[in-house]
Amino acid sequence: MASIDTVILPFEEKPLHTPPLEEIRDVLAAGLVSNFATVDVEVVDCPNLTQAPFHLAGEGLNGNPALLEVGGPPYLLPHVDYTKLYDVVSISQRALNDTKKEILAIGAGAGPYPHVNSNCEGMFNLKISASGHVTSESHLAQITPDRKQVLLKKIPNTETRCALLGNIFLSEGKPGQVLKVSCKKRIGGEDFIASIRNALAKHYEDKPVGLGGVFLLKNGKAKQHVMSPFSETPIHTEEELNTWLNFFDMSATLIAVGTLVTNECDLDLRLQHFHSFSKHGEGGHYHIDTTPDIVEYEGYFNVGEKIVRVDKPVNTHKFGRD
Ligand code: ZN
């Protein structure tokens, strides 16, 4: 099935509040200590993210940083809408109003189900050159038929579709200053991303702040899910959803990409969404670490200047956004 022509998709955008990195550093340094025993937040020159242990398609997170929110859970639940296939390349180019720049697109969403003939998780990680050439380090994770194992697969350069929903951080992939957030030993109940999001939301209140980037789970394990093949029966309740999802404890080192935003900006947003891949065959949708005493996180984030909403569901619900 072909992806929907990007030209006909509804696009909406809103500016985000963009505090200086130094200010966010101080907000997070003060806010994260209620959730982690060791917290270190710095403004640093971004390490080259194409190198191990990151394995991203682009070097940095700078140059027109933006959050891109595509589709949503209403296209998956209670019934799947098979027509919802998006081309990440043309959507990213339209979102940044420019087809002549290099773009790095990293984030979480539903994988390109036609590619493996099955529903799957997508870890989008691709660089689009000024000439439109794609270098993909994207992965997908699907469940085996017995639902006991996860298959993590590299997505080729020629497959740039995202199905149903996606939360993607866009930039020109340039080097530059970013936030480095290191946390060890979780002492509170929030996952790494929720703790960052809540600290920002508490400080900035109704001014929306959005971040995107990459974090490593460097030690320990995390609870992650991988969706089953599309359900033939409708999924209406949280309980039915959790039976359909497959949960695993996955081991470090996990490399997670995605976005977070402190409020919905009246755009029907998912406030956080990160998917991880690895070099050891594990990958999925990040929920929280399951080894709080030994967990170690290291994240690199930049601040989005705007949020671009693509194909916002008309008939929406708040279900399946955990
Ligand atoms: Zn997900």
Question: Model confidence over 71-129: pLDDT tens digits?
Answer: 999 999 999 999 999 999 999 999 998 767 899 999 999 999 999 999 999 999 999 99
Confidence of residue 292 (pLDDT cuts 50, 70, 90): very high
Cα 121 to middle of ligand 1, angstroms: 7
Question: What spacing in Å lies between the alpha carbon of 82 and ligand 1's midpoint?
Answer: 17
Task: Check residue 315 and give its pLDDT.
Answer: 87
Q: How confident is the model at residue 53 (pLDDT cuts 50, 70, 90)?
A: very high
| Better-predicted residue by pLDDT, 317 or 133 | 133
User: What is the distance in A from the centroid of ligand 1 to the CA of 69?
Assistant: 13
The pTM of the full predicted model, rounded to 2 decimals, is 0.98
Q: How far does the centroid of ligand 1 lie from the alpha carbon of residue 177, in Å?
A: 28
Instruction: Give 274 Cα–ligand 1 centroid separation in angstroms.
Output: 7
- The DSSP-derived string for 130-188 is TT--EEE--EEEEE-TTSS-EEEEEPPTT--EEEEEEEEEEE--B--EEEEEEEEEE-S
3, 172, 211, 255 from 176: Cα distances, Å = 34, 11, 15, 20
Statement: residue 143 has pLDDT above 90: yes
Q: State in Å: Cα 47 to ligand 1 middle.
A: 26
We find that the CATH architecture of domain 11-310 is 2-Layer Sandwich (3.30)
Structure confidence at residue 154 (pLDDT): 98
Ligand 1 center to 21 CA (angstroms): 27
Expressed in angstroms and rounded, the spacing between residue 22 Cα and the centre of ligand 1 is: 30
Angstrom distance (rounded) from CA 114 to CA 160: 11
Distance, CA of 227 to CA of 246 (rounded, Å): 6
pLDDT at site 6: 94
Q: Tell me 34's DSSP state.
A: G
C-alpha of residue 220 to centroid of ligand 1, in Å: 20
Burial (CB count within 10 angstroms: exposed 0-12, middle 13-18, buried 19+), residue 242:
middle
Ligand 1 centroid vs 134 CA: distance in angstroms?
23
Over range 301-307, report the average pLDDT.
98
- Residue-level pLDDT at 297: 98
Residue 262 Cα, ligand 1 centroid: separation in angstroms? 18
pLDDT at 194 over 90: yes
CA of 143 to the centre of ligand 1 (A): 14
Distance CA 130, CA 176 (A): 19
Question: In the predicted model, what is the mean pLDDT of the chain?
Answer: 96
In eight-state DSSP terms, residue 273 is: E
Percent of the chain with pLDDT over 70: 100
Reduced to 3 states (helix: H, G, I; strand: E, B; else coil), residue 117 is: coil
Query: What is the CA(100)–ligand 1 centre distance, in A?
Result: 30
Contact in structure between 72 and 312 (CB atoms under 8 Å): yes
User: 111 C-alpha vs ligand 1 centroid, how far in Å?
Assistant: 10
25 Cα: distance to centroid of ligand 1 (angstroms): 27
Q: Rounded to the nearest whole angstrom, what is the distance from the C-alpha of residue 68 to the centroid of ligand 1?
A: 15
pLDDT reading at 1 higher than 90: no
> 284: CA distance to ligand 1 center in Å?
7
Q: What is the pLDDT of residues 113-125, one digit of tens each?
A: 999 999 999 999 9
Distance 56 CA to ligand 1 centre (A): 19
CA of 130 to the centre of ligand 1 (A): 29
Residue 224 reports pLDDT greater than 80 = yes
Alpha-carbon span 264 to 283, nearest angstrom: 27
Distance from the alpha carbon of residue 174 to the mean position of ligand 1, in angstroms:
26
- Averaged over 304-313, what is the pLDDT? 97
CB-CB neighbours of 169 under 10 Å: 27
